[in-house]
Homo-oligomer: A and B are copies of this chain.
């Protein structure tokens, strides 16, 4: 693989230019911006690689860039996405989120770690393979979508309509990187999600707060309604919420036992004295990976500027995500939430459905998982840490579990300080090149399984 690695070194400058071009597109799915532009850049890059590419839009959604390259007895599905999270709050970014900047060996840009970096480095690694090793020893199918950050609204229909395009022996998921101790990690599952916005409404317009004794305040109604959703002991209070949970099995629990303890480093980095409920070690991991959540991601009502304003707001909004574990479904949670609010006297509070996703799991002993483990050990010099699943979410159910395709994250350019979904998202250059070298080891490992 010396030639492969030399090729990467020789082409670093162009590879970064290609990445930066994609990072400059503010492809924020939640705001409907830059989607087509980003899809076009990805299509063009795959075509330059030599792949056969189609743009497939389903039900008017963001186009999936579908690409095929190589032949062989095995088929590898690679899933990535070209959309990113909103960059707000802009004022907390040291440099503009859509003007990638290198500082201290890190690339700062919205989406560089989630997921434009992995998207691009995987394509570039395959270029290096073709240029130095000859034909690919397997068939690679790319599914690169543009709605991942908004629960992949139309990918579900895409998967159902194009099942024939998606058959594979294993899938490499979008995420991947090294943990806080610099060890490569992999994850063989994902939580589901139900994202909602709750809206409480009051008078026809904002009033002087002198009217508070007699006019309903939607900020209070929302506060009281929220307080019925989760208790201060973290128990989620929707009736039936926990009923369909399938607890981790013996293999999962065994995998948790193998994961090194990073509690102290995490606590220090997050700047908190303890984890919720005081959990540590394996108990912390079990809670992190196998418990559902109900999270207030955003709250807004009335005056939020400097100093005081004595106003009685006429509406209040909360954004909430429920993360789901097997075998919960987003449909159940939506139904439970409506029923619960009605029962508690909050029938007036509107629920806006901002998307759902089923949880998914995969076999920890599948060929694709073993190939990732073997190749990661080769490239990184240490055995990777196997997480049975991840705390994050993606369309793993419709794309993989529905077709019984084994799936795992690979190693990518992620690391603990990547600040994904937050201001100053970044990726380290060393991780970017290392993840490309790992791809060079993974391709033959999976082909040979």
B288 engages A304 (CB within 8 Å): no
Q: How far is the CA of A205 from the CA of B232 in the complex (A)?
A: 22
User: Is A134 located at the chain interface by the 8 A CB criterion?
Assistant: no
User: Is A214 located at the chain interface by the 8 A CB criterion?
Assistant: yes
Which of the segments A13-21, A97-105, A176-184, A223-231 contacts the partner chain?
A223-231
Give chain A's interface secondary structure class.
mixed
Q: Mark A5-43, 1 if CB is under 8 A from B, else 0.
A: 000000000000000000000000111000000000000
User: What is the total number of residues of chain A having a CB less than 8 Å from a CB of chain B?
Assistant: 86
User: Is A70 located at the chain interface by the 8 A CB criterion?
Assistant: no
Shortest C-beta distance, A124 to chain B (Å), equals 26
Shortest C-beta distance, A58 to chain B (Å), equals 19
B203 engages A310 (CB within 8 Å): no
A214 engages B150 (CB within 8 Å): no
Q: How far is the CA of A277 from the CA of B391 in the complex (A)?
A: 44
Q: Quick one: given A216-B272, A216-B276, A279-B214, are A209 and B297 in contact (CB under 8 Å)? A: yes
Name the residue on B nearest A30 (C-beta): B307
Shortest C-beta distance, A94 to chain B (Å), equals 13
Shortest C-beta distance, A157 to chain B (Å), equals 19
Q: Mark A45-57, 1 if CB is under 8 A from B, else 0.
A: 0000000000000
Name 19 A/B residue pairs within 8 A (Cβ), A-sorted.
A30-B308, A31-B306, A86-B305, A86-B309, A88-B304, A151-B308, A193-B310, A210-B391, A213-B293, A214-B279, A217-B295, A220-B295, A223-B299, A297-B303, A297-B311, A298-B302, A298-B304, A303-B319, A307-B354
